[in-house]
Every structure is written in structure tokens, then in C-alpha cells.
Amino acid sequence: MRGERANAPCVCHTQRHNQIIEENERIRSMLSSSFVRKTRNVRTRVKQLPPFVGGGAGAGRGARGQIEADSKPQERGTAYIFGRIAVDFSLLGCAGLTMAVLSSCCEPHTRGFFCNDLSLRHPYKESTIQNWMLYLMCVVLPISTILLVEFYRAQDWTRFSHHNQLYSSGYFLCHMELPHWVVDSYRMISTFFFGLGIEQLTTDIAKYTIGRLRPHFFTLCQPVLPDGTTCNDYVNEGRYIEDYVCTAKDISAKQLKNMHLSFPSGHSSFAFFSMIYIVIYLQRRMKCSRFRMLRHLLQFLLVMFAWYTALTRVSDFKHHWSDVLAGSSIGIVYAFLVTSTFW
């Protein structure tokens, strides 16, 4: 009895050891069968691949040749290029012609005023951001930036000869292939001008439809009512005036018309569209890691210029703050819309 008790722990230990071994064998068998099934699935997929994929040097050359053939763009000749340019300029011309008709043939909505409206009694000031400054920063600078970045990207690609051979532009002008950076630059610049045109057209339509008076209206106009009274007379206090005549001296017809074009701010929409467009362009095209901080600095400066332009329109009493807010929103929305749709 005493010997049997002594041998009992050994028997239990042996049984437990055998159970562990059996469990390990079962797990190993399951893993092995799973691996075999996955291997068979992979082999089946490989058999279903096209003949030029896999195995041998000849097959590799065939695969690369097929890839090169697929990646080679369709060749477009001189007729296609000039046709594309004609279509683009026609679209831009339609937008420009519409704006020209609005400014030369149409009159803005004649809007009345209250004589005690203090928001219309600000002095007249010259613009801090002149038109030539705006065109320089919002037209010349974006075009120069796009050309410079695309040219640099093209020079950087020349280090990769094989990639350079595959990355053909596919555009031939008089049997000479146009560099890819020229094609990309034209695409980006034409998209920029298209967005700029529809953005300005949207702004001008709103200006002529609403006809909001500028903050310096009383200074330039000095309105007189048909009965000979002015807003300085007590009898007109609190009245909404629609019938009046501007009696200010040395004021041109252009200034009289411009007094009714306060909403929305054209300078703000113009500046924000151009600057946000270039900010998005730099984010997507200037991806070199060594220029990351420079890219962020340029983006910050561009946004600050648009912001400063919008602020000066209020401080110069050219627009009400709501005019600037609406114009800035139009420019930002069109910049994101154009870059997300046409790029």
C-alpha cells in the first residue's frame, strides 16, 4: 500500500505529460493544414495571372514591356493642342465678356438709405492695397510660383532615367514632344484662371444685384432730396430715402456707380481665391521633405496677404465687415472647389 501511494504522483505526472504532448501535436497539425491550404490558394491565384507575370527573365521583360505600353500616354498632336487652347480661352472669354457687359452696360440696383445711418458716414480714403499690387500678388505671383515649382520637379525627375522614359507627356507640337512640366504648368495655370473667372463673375453678379452702399456714401454723394432738403434737416431723420440726387463736386460717373457695389468685397474674394489656390498647390506639388519648412512659411505668408487685404478693405472704409466676410468666403469656397474638381 505504501509503495502504491508513492507511485501515484508519478503516474499522474506521466499522464499529464502525455496530454500536453498530444495537445501540442494537435495544434501543430492544425497549423500545418492551414498553411497547406493557404499555399494552395496562392498557387491557384498565381496560375490565374496573365502569362507575362512571374517566372524567368523573359517573363520579366514581357511584364515590364506590358507596363511600359500601358503607362505610355496617348499621343496628342498640334491640332489637339491648339483645339484644347481654343476651348480654354473660349471659356475664359465667356466669363470675361459677361463681366465686361455687367460693368459697361448694366447699372447696379438702386438702394435707399436712412439719413441717420452712421455706417454710411465714413470719410473717403484711397485703397491701401492698390489694384496693381493686387494683380501683382494674385496673378503674377501664382503664375511664377507654378512655373518655378513644376520646372524644379522636372529637374528633380531627371535623376531617374528609367522613370523619365516612362513619364512622357504625350503632347507633340510640330512633331516635338512638349516637356511634361510645361503641360502640367499649363493645366494648373488654366485651371487657376478658370476658377478666378467664375469667382469674379459670381462676385460681380452679387454686386449688381444687391447694390449695397459703401461706407463713404455720404462723403462722396452728399445727397439732396427732390424737395431741396438734405439729411442734415430734422424733417428727414429716420426716413428711408430712395429718391435723391448726388450733389458732390469733382465726382465721376464711375465713382457714383461704384458707390453701389459694396457687397461682396471683390478685393477679398480675389485675394483669398488666389492665395488659397497657391497654398493648396504647394501642399500637393511641393512635397520634397527638405523644403517642408519653406513650404509652410510660404503658405503662411500667402494667407496673411489675403487676410491683410481683407482687413484693409474695412479700415479704408471701402466695405462693411460683412461685405469682406462674404467676399472672403466666396474666394475660399471656389479655391477648394476648383482644386478638388479639376486637379
Number of Cβ within a 10 Å radius of residue 218: 24
Tell me whether residue 320 is one of the annotated catalytic residues. Answer: no
Does residue 242 contact residue 110 with C-beta atoms inside 8 Å?
yes
With H, G, I as helix, E, B as strand and everything else as coil, classify residue 173: strand
Give the active site residue among 109, 267, 296, 320: 267
Task: Count CB neighbours of 269 within 10 A.
Answer: 30
d(CA 93, CA 13): 94
**Cis ω on the peptide bond leading into residue 264 (within 30° of 0)?**
yes
Distance CA 115, CA 165 (A): 72
245-246 and 172-173: which strand pairing?
A: unpaired
If you search the block for the grid coordinates 441717420, which residue do you land on? Answer: 116
- Distance spanning both ends of the chain, measured CA to CA: 92
Q: Which of 180, 216, 319, 320 is catalytic?
A: 319
Residues 320, 263 contacting (CB under 8 angstroms): yes
Structure-block grid coordinates of residue 195:
476658377
Catalytic-residue membership of 260: no
DSSP 174-216: TTEEPPHHHHHHHHHHHHHHHHHHHHHHHHHHHHHHH-PPPTT
Query: Which residues are identified as catalytic?
Result: 267, 319
